[in-house]
Amino acid sequence: MCYLFRGGEGEHLSGQNALTAFNDAVLPHFDAAYNLARWLARNDQDAQDVVQEACLRAFKYWKGDCGSRCRSWLLAIVRNTYYSWIREQSGQPELTEDGKMDDVEDGSPSPERSTLQNADRDLLKAALEDLSAELREAFTLREIEGLSYKEIAEISGVPIGTVMSRISRARKRLQIYLMSMTVA
Amino acid sequence: MTCKETESLIDAYVDGELDSARSVAFEMHMNECSSCLTHVSNLQDLSSAIRNGSLRYKAPPQLKRNVQAALRAAHPETRSSILYWRWASVLASAVLLVALTWTVATRQTIRSEESVLVNEIVSSHVRSLMLNHVADVPSSDSHTVKPWFGGKINYSPPTKDLAQQGFPLVGGRLDYLDNRPVAALVYQRRLHFINLFVWPSDSGSMKEEVLTRQGYNLIHWTQSGMTYWLVSDLNLMELSDCARLLKE
């Protein structure tokens, strides 16, 4: 796929080398970028806009190298692009849930094993989309993208403890959601 | 460790983020406390459901093209003459068409060969459990298992002991896959057996591929000239941990 990206324009042109280097470093993470944008925006068109805008920003900040942290770097830009886009849309910052008392009681709901085994893709997707943006962000980066707490903390710009608490709350809510949907 | 402490660390445990000391303390607590054990397995089930739920979105191909066009438009110095671009795009389409045809044709052959192999691997795994013949050389000592293969196959499989990390080596076995005798190493996680099939491969390094067949999870990768197939009824998350440890 990569050669498509570089196009056939000829690499002798000034600026072309920078774009080639940018593509080599960033494109392997293009799907990860779209996946995050898609889960945050919850629809394809907005996700595409966010990724396009994020890539333009990324190329603007591009210093020729992002080392081994290209994925985290790009995902952080995607995330920030999404939140600033949301702010422009609504004219106010997205509500944050951190620090709010959890409405989930101590102990954990224990859905029947069969609840999870029968949960199909649509149900899981609906459950994830029902989470608040920050829980969805932390949880999808962990479970779908497979990132460590440390990487998520870097991307989201919050302490590791906050990442852990978001993931924990996301799991509790998902369990409650899945239980209510399968019992009902 | 108490239930309350366990509760606060449970997500970190499930995500493999606890250091080994706390991990061990956590597991010791779980051995005695069935409610914490249930709680953990519920979270693990949730994780596997999410991971197996095909929930990862792939970027649409036209998005990649749009982004490239936008990048070039935003940075005019990267733009080139229209004529050149037209010729290049005609050429690129032709190349793409040839490449696609070739890829589809070869991939189909590779796919069907691979799926036969996957079935063979799952059958081998199931057979080893059914016949109660998991290992020809039952030993947790990698220095006993490794030499045992000498003379039976023409390569020396890596026999890593992962007892410290919770995947004790059970032994080794000679098996027959992909039309050749291969080394099978058997590991255990709680009550689950894990078969690791290893044989030399001439294809280059390959990143991990994850498959599920008949309820068994399989992880396949190629590294340093050896191809590896890990198969078990263990949940995908722990099996991935096992694969990661084997690769280290």
Name which of A51, A128, A178 is nearest B67 (Cβ-Cβ).
Answer: A51
Pairwise CB contact (< 8 Å): B78 & A16: yes
Mean pLDDT of B176-186: 90
Taking CA–CA distances from A142, the nearest residue in chain B reads B15
Among candidate residues B234, B143, B146, the one with its CA nearest the CA of residue B183: B146
Chain A residues close to B12, C-beta within 8 Å: 149, 164
pLDDT at B141: 86
pLDDT at A94: 54
Among candidate residues B206, B96, A156, the one with its CA nearest the CA of residue A148: A156
pLDDT at B41: 92
Pairwise CB contact (< 8 Å): A128 & B55: yes
pLDDT at A183: 67
Give the A:B interface size as CB pairs under 8 Å: 148
- In order of A5, A41, A166, B29, the CA distances from A24 in angstroms are 9, 26, 33, 48
Pairwise CA distance, residues A156 & A166, whole Å: 11
Name which of A18, A33, A52 is nearest B66 (Cβ-Cβ).
Answer: A52
Is the model's pLDDT at B50 over the cut of 70?
A: yes
Number of H helices, E strands in chain A: 10, 0
Name which of B12, B43, B88 is nearest A8 (Cβ-Cβ).
Answer: B88
The answer to whether residues A77 and A64 touch, using CB atoms and an 8 Å cutoff, is no
Mean pLDDT of A121-145: 94
Name which of A55, A107, A167 is nearest B67 (Cβ-Cβ).
Answer: A55
Confidence of residue A10 (pLDDT cuts 50, 70, 90): very low
The answer to whether residues B12 and A168 touch, using CB atoms and an 8 Å cutoff, is no
Concatenating the DSSP letter of every residue in B163-189 gives: GGGTB-EEEEEEEEETTEEEEEEEEEE
pLDDT at B178: 83
Pairwise CA distance, residues A92 & B96, whole Å: 46
A38 interfaces chain B, CB cutoff of 8 Å: yes
pLDDT at A9: 38
A179 interfaces chain B, CB cutoff of 8 Å: no
Pairwise CB contact (< 8 Å): B39 & A110: yes
A-interface mutation test, from B62, B66, B67, most A Cβ less than 10 A away = B67
Is the model's pLDDT at A66 over the cut of 90?
A: no
SS3 label, residue B81: coil
A125 interfaces chain B, CB cutoff of 8 Å: yes
Residue B10 tokens read as 């449970």
Render pLDDT for B14-39 as a digit per residue (tens, 0 to 9): 999 999 999 999 999 999 999 999 99
In this structure, the dihedral spanned by the alpha carbons of residues A112, A113, A116 and A120, taken in order and rounded to 10 degrees, is -100
Confidence of residue B150 (pLDDT cuts 50, 70, 90): confident
The answer to whether residues A49 and A8 touch, using CB atoms and an 8 Å cutoff, is no
Mean pLDDT of B120-135: 81
Mean pLDDT of A30-38: 96
Percentage above 90 pLDDT, chain A: 55
- Least confident among A160-164, B129-133, B171-175, B223-227: B129-133
Name which of A48, A121, A164 is nearest B54 (Cβ-Cβ).
Answer: A121
pLDDT at A161: 94
Q: In this structure, how many other beta carbons lie within 10 angstroms of the beta carbon of residue A63?
A: 5
A105 interfaces chain B, CB cutoff of 8 Å: no
Among candidate residues B178, B181, B120, the one with its CA nearest the CA of residue B154: B181
Q: How does DSSP classify residue B58?
A: -
pLDDT at B110: 66
